[in-house]
Each structure stands twice: as structure tokens, then as C-alpha cells.
């Protein structure tokens, strides 16, 4: 309203001073996106995508490093808000920006290796990824609900295009359409919730909302609670928690696998960042109202994800449900709502982003090598790939076991840290339920891993049953012949190799040398 009045009165508009160094990652991402589009206009070079990918990778690396630099600043000088108090620069936002940069890096490398083989070439995918990631970064640092909404829209609109990037296929079209319709619906939910919250608190600024709610008690808070639920729904859609998860399997299956990895990592992180900040910070005083809701949502998310993952037959659908199970764990951190548990959620998100982008990368590699189109790689097709592509299979095996929570990986520590917060808050039953969901999901990961190393042959039973030396020797002789037939010369593109290597190195490296990341996540405080 102020703005309209100022414009009408003819007085000069007061723009807030902008500290560009604090929003440099966003600026660089947008700049690189625009630059790549300009370059193709000037050069007309579409077939060689290395340059565009290189530009995007450079932007991602710069974004990550600069965000780390910002986080060091925050550690030294404390958190602060910029751009007229609408963006926060705090440990929380910088943590997420690093996470986003890592996700973008892996996505672009994987896309370079595979996406352009099934879709048209050019700089658009790089530009869209960077723009979508910019939206994600805005959501992660938004200190104002409106800015949060703008971030959400920037992220979503780019993503709608990314999901439909391989338009020639029917599954892909269906999933793109589904995601678009439901995504628009979720945005509307969020916006409506925003309006209700603004109506009852008088501000869209998170700091003002928090201050207002801690000073005043509303005589009737129905409107506020309705607004809160709508915001939960809008963001819950993006992070795919029950009951807003129905789109996930279809969209994950139909989208290009590089995009699926991006959605399960970067997009989920952005959604959770917003959820954590809005609920844990702005609505902190109302936690008695939202905690029971989150409790039910978290339990359902854990169990639905784990149980439905086990009964799927398509590889990407399975991973979609397992991502829902992971979302349940992240939600548990918010449910407990202590400083430590928020840090644990962040750690989990980082772990999950790293593991899942690598997993989807490996899946897209296998799908490509097997000549499968998007969304048609079934779990049965994974049988025997351990012999065909030993390196990729080993990578996938490590990442799946890490997702299952195998010791000495980042996945175990993530589950462990979230559970420790849950137990510390005396929610023993929920901790046990969460562990049961881990057991169910673990069966799935183990089964998939096992099937990769099960021979393809029908008469595999012969040498299983027999340990008789003669018979076994015969079986070996036969198998050697089969080996030469089965062995495929699988060349892993350099970009994909880099992405997978990064993912596995972080999964195992931070599992063994755990302290730095644990401490980084636990120090990622919110601006108050």
C-alpha cells in the first residue's frame, strides 16, 4: 500500500540499499543463465554443450565457494538481513546455498553426460537449472513471505520446463502436465496462506510476524491457523510429504533422470529450508498448534514412503517413494524443533541431496547404457548389471547402502543424528517407528543391490544349489563363456564420472571424517 501511495503522490520511490556481495551467488547464477542464452544467440553454436555446462559449473563452484565465504563472515560477525530486511544472510541460508551449489554441480555434470543424448542440445537446460537454483536460494534466504513466494515461483516455473524437457515421450508429458497443474495448485495454496497470515499478523516479514506473535495473543486465531496449514500444504507439496506426495512417483518416473535428481535434492532442500524457517522461526510461539500436525504427517510420511517403496517395480518410482521416507526423517527434525534438531535436519538434507543425486545419476547411466527411455527402467532390468558394468554397479551399490543407513556412510550419521534429537526430546515411540521404517526401506535397498549382482542366467540355480567340486567347475567353465558375452564395454563419460565420484566421495568421506560437516550443520543458526 505504501508503494502505491508513494507512486501516486509523485515523490521519488525509496529503494532499499542492496549489499550485492551478500547476494552474489544469486546474481552470478542469474548472470550465468542470461550469459549462456546470449552466447547461443551470438555464436549460434548449439551442438557443443561443453561450454554452457562449463559456464554453469563455474557458476555453481563460485556460488558454493562464495556462500562458504559468507558463512565464515556470519560466524565472525553474526547474521544480518539485507535488501530492506527481506533476505537473511545467516548460517542457515549459507548452508543451504552451499548445498544448492553442490546439487547444481552434480545435476549439470550428469545432464552433460546423458540428457543431451535424449533431448535437444543447447544452453537452455543450463540456464533453466541455474534460474531454478536461484529461486531455491531465494527461498532459502527469504526473510519475508512475499520474497519466499517469488523464490518459489522462480524455482517452480523453471522446473516445469525442466520436467518436460524430453517432450517426445508420453510418460514425460504426463508427468510434466501433472507437475504443472499440481504445482500451480500448491503455489495458490501458499499464496492464500500468506494472505491469511498477513491478515492476522499485519506483516509478511518473518521477523515482524515472530515479534508480533510473541507479544500478542490472538483472541481468535482461526484465520492464522488456517494460513499456517495452507503454507504447510504449499511447501509440503514441494518437499513431498504425506498427504501431498501423490505426484512424486509419477513425476520422478517421467522426468529426465537428471531433473529427477535435481528435484529430489535442490528442490526438496529449498522447500525444507522454507518450512524450517517459517515454522521454527516465525511461528515458533505457535508450536503447540503445529507440532501435533507435524507429528502425524512425519509418521505417515516415514511409513508410507517405506512401505510403498518396497512394492514398486520401476526403479525411479521406488526411489521416489524412498525419497518420501527420507522426507519423513527431515520432518522429524522440524517436529522436535530444538536448535540441535534443526541442525540435524540440515545435515540429513545435505546427506540426502548428495546420495540421491548420485543415485539418480547412476540410474540414468544404466538406463542410457541399456537403451531405455525415461521411466522404463524396471528393477528387474537391474539384474546382472554388476557383471556388465562393474564400476557403475559398485557406485550404485555404495549409494543405495548409504541410503539404507549403512555404517560408516553419511546416510547412517544422518539417521543417527535425527534420531538422537528425537530421543533427546523423549519421543521414544516415534524414534522406534522411524527405525522400523528404516528396516522396511533397508530391505528394498538390499534387494536392489543384491539383484544387481545376481547372474542373469536362468540356470543360475545349478551352481547355487551345488557345492560339488565337479559340478561347480563345470558351472564356472560355462560362466566364463557367458562373461565374454555379457561384458559390455561401458565407457563412462568424464562429466558423469566426476559427478558420481563427487557424490560417492562425499557419501563415504563425510561418513568417516564426519566432524566438519556435523559441526557446520549444527552451527547453521537462523537469523533471529
Rule CB under 8 A: which residues touch other proteins?
Answer: 390, 394, 401, 406-408, 412-413, 416-417, 419-420, 423-424, 428, 431-432, 435-436, 438-439, 442-443, 446-447, 449-450, 453-455, 461, 463-469, 472-473, 475-476, 479, 514-515, 518-519, 522
CB 233 → other proteins: shortest distance, Å? 31
Taking the least distance from each CB to other proteins, the nearer of 17 and 515 is: 515
Q: Is 132 left (phi over 0), alpha (psi -120 to 50) or beta?
A: alpha
Are residues 127 and 33 in contact, defined by beta-carbon separation less than 8 angstroms?
yes
Taking the least distance from each CB to other proteins, the nearer of 245 and 449 is: 449
CB 479 → other proteins: shortest distance, Å? 7
The sign one gets for the Cα dihedral 461, 359, 396, 127 is positive
Taking the least distance from each CB to other proteins, the nearer of 300 and 394 is: 394
CB 423 → other proteins: shortest distance, Å? 4
Could you tell me the CA-to-CA distances from 479 to 109, 472, 484, 485 in Å, in that order? Answer: 36, 10, 9, 10
The sign one gets for the Cα dihedral 85, 86, 88, 89 is negative
Are residues 425 and 341 in contact, defined by beta-carbon separation less than 8 angstroms?
yes
CB 309 → other proteins: shortest distance, Å? 15
Taking the least distance from each CB to other proteins, the nearer of 82 and 400 is: 400
CB 76 → other proteins: shortest distance, Å? 20
The Cα 218–Cα 495 span in angstroms is: 56
Kind and range of the H or E run holding 81:
strand 80-82
Taking the least distance from each CB to other proteins, the nearer of 10 and 469 is: 469
Taking the least distance from each CB to other proteins, the nearer of 12 and 469 is: 469
CB 358 → other proteins: shortest distance, Å? 17
CB 409 → other proteins: shortest distance, Å? 10
Cell of 376: 522404463
Omega cis (within 30) before 243 = yes
Q: What DSSP string describes 184-243?
A: HHHHHHHHHHHHHHHHHHS--BHHHHHHHHHH---S--HHHHHHHHHHHHHHHHHHT-TT
CB 350 → other proteins: shortest distance, Å? 15
Residues 6+ positions from 246 with CB-CB distance below 8 Å: none
The Cα 392–Cα 384 span in angstroms is: 12
Taking the least distance from each CB to other proteins, the nearer of 222 and 516 is: 516
Taking the least distance from each CB to other proteins, the nearer of 21 and 472 is: 472
Amino acid at each position: 500500500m505504501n508503494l502505491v501511495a508513494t507512486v501516486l503522490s509523485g515523490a521519488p520511490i525509496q529503494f532499499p540499499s542492496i549489499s550485492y556481495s551478500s547476494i552474489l551467488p544469486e546474481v552470478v547464477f542469474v548472470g550465468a543463465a542470461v550469459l549462456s542464452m546470449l552466447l547461443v544467440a551470438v555464436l549460434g553454436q548449439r551442438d557443443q554443450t561443453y561450454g554452457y555446462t562449463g559456464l554453469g559449473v563455474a557458476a555453481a563452484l563460485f556460488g558454493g565457494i562464495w556462500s562458504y565465504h559468507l558463512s565464515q563472515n556470519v560466524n565472525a560477525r553474526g547474521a544480518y538481513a539485507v535488501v530492506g530486511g527481506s533476505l537473511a544472510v545467516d548460517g542457515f541460508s549459507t548452508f543451504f546455498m552451499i548445498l544448492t551449489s553442490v546439487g547444481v554441480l552434480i545435476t549439470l555434470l550428469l545432464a552433460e553426460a546423458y540428457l543431451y543424448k535424449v533431448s535437444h542440445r543447447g544452453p537452455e537446460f543450463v540456464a533453466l537449472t541455474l534460474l531454478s537454483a536461484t529461486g531455491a536460494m531465494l527461498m532459502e534466504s527469504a526473510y519475508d513471505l512475499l520474497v519466499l513466494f517469488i523464490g518459489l515461483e522462480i524455482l517452480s516455473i523453471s522446473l516445469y520446463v525442466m520436467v518436460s524437457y524430453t517432450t517426445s515421450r508420453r510418460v514425460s508429458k504426463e508427468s510434466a502436465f501433472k507437475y504443472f497443474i499440481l504445482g500451480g495448485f500448491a503455489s495458490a495454496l501458499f499464496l492464500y496462506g500468506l494472505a491469511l497470515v498477513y491478515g492476522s499478523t499485519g506483516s509478511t516479514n518473518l521477523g515482524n510476524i515472530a515479534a508480533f506473535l510473541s507479544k500478542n495473543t490472538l483472541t481468535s486465531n482461526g484465520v492464522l491457523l488456517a494460513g499456517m496449514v495452507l503454507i504447510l500444504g504449499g511447501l509440503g507439496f514441494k518437499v513431498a510429504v504425506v498427504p501431498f506426495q501423490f505426484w512424486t512417483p509419477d513425476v520422478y518416473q517421467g522426468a529426465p533422470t537428471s531433473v529427477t535428481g535435481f528435484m529430489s535434492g535442490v528442490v526438496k532442500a529449498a522447500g525444507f529450508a522454507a518450512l524450517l524457517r517459517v515454522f521454527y522461526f516465525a511461528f515458533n510461539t505457535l508450536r503447540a498448534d503445529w507440532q501435533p500436525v507435524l507429528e502425524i504427517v512425519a509418521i505417515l510420511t516415514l511409513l508410507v514412503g517405506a512401505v510403498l517403496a518396497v512394492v514398486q517395480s520401476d526403479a525411479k518410482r521406488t526411489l521416489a517413494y524412498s525419497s518420501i521416507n527420507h522426507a519423513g526423517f527431515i520432518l522429524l527434525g522440524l517436529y522436535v524443533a530444538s536448535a540441535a534438531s534443526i541442525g540435524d535436519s540440515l545435515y540429513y538434507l545435505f546427506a540426502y541431496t548428495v546420495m540421491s543425486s548420485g543415485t539418480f545419476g547412476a540410474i540414468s547411466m544404466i538406463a542410457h547404457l541399456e537403451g531405455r527411455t525415461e521411466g522404463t527402467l524396471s528393477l528387474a532390468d537391474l539384474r546382472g548389471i554388476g557383471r556388465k558394468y562393474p564400476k557403475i554397479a559398485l557406485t550404485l551399490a555404495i549409494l543405495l547402502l548409504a541410503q539404507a543407513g549403512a555404517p560408516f556412510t553419511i546416510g547412517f550419521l544422518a539417521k543417527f543424528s535425527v534420531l538422537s534429537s528425537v530421543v533427546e526430546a523423549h519421543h521414544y515411540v516415534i524414534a522406534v517407528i522411524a527405525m522400523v521404517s528404516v528396516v522396511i526401506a533397508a530391505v528394498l535397498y538390499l534387494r536392489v543391490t543384491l539383484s544387481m549382482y545376481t547372474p542373469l542366467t536362468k540356470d543360475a540355480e545349478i551352481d547355487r544349489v551345488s557345492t560339488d567340486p565337479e559340478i561347480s567347475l563345470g558351472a564356472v567353465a560355462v560362466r566364463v563363456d557367458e562373461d565374454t558375452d555379457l561384458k559390455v564395454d561401458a565407457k563412462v563419460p568424464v562429466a558423469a564420472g566426476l559427478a558420481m565420484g563427487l557424490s560417492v566421495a562425499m557419501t563415504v568421506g563425510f561418513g568417516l571424517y564426519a566432524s566438519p560437516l556435523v559441526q557446520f550443520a549444527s552451527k547453521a543458526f537462523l537469523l533471529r
